[in-house]
Amino acid sequence: YAIDMVRGLEPIRPTWMEEPIPPERIGAFVKIRQAARVPIATGEHVYTRWQTKELLVAGAVDWLQNDPDWTGGITELTKICTLASAFETPVVAHGHSLLPALHVAGAQSPSTVPFVEYLLRHQPAKQYFHTYIYEPKHGNVKLPDLPGLGIVLDEDKITARDVLQY
């Protein structure tokens, strides 16, 4: 089924097909990648550089999407990017962890991390307690001049103990 699905996407030429099967099925990833012309991505549920290395050595993926939080933070994701660069495989960090992903992207070549996934716009509650809201404008995010990851909590919002509505 996965091969048929990926082949069916070929006419629209997507940038990638994300996790058509669970990432631990490395042999099946290889078969899908060989059978279709759509690039294959995975990594959201790949938590270590050693698991990532297995995918890369097998030739199972075209794009990696390791999550900065789930891999153990900036240091581990940086190591994964270094590994990926040796295999000429780009990394676009998964999802909701914009600030760690931006720190990693800023330390890499654009050929290794060509862009950053940004999902916070659709989940404003994730930034509710921050003093600085990261809002994309024309495809860019302006970062504050703050130390560390740039997160400062709004004490008044914390003290108010508001119930957040999703």
Active site residues: 94
* Residues 113/93, Cβ–Cβ less than 8 Å: yes
If you ran DSSP here, which 8-state letter would residue 127 be given? G
In 3D space, the residue among 152, 113, 125, 121 whose CA is nearest the CA of residue 139 turns out to be: 121
Q: How far apart, in Å, are the Cα atoms of 150 and each of 62, 102, 160?
A: 32, 11, 23
Q: How far apart are CA 78 and CA 64, in angstroms?
A: 13
Which residues have a Cβ under 8 Å from the Cβ of 122 and sit 6 or more positions away? none
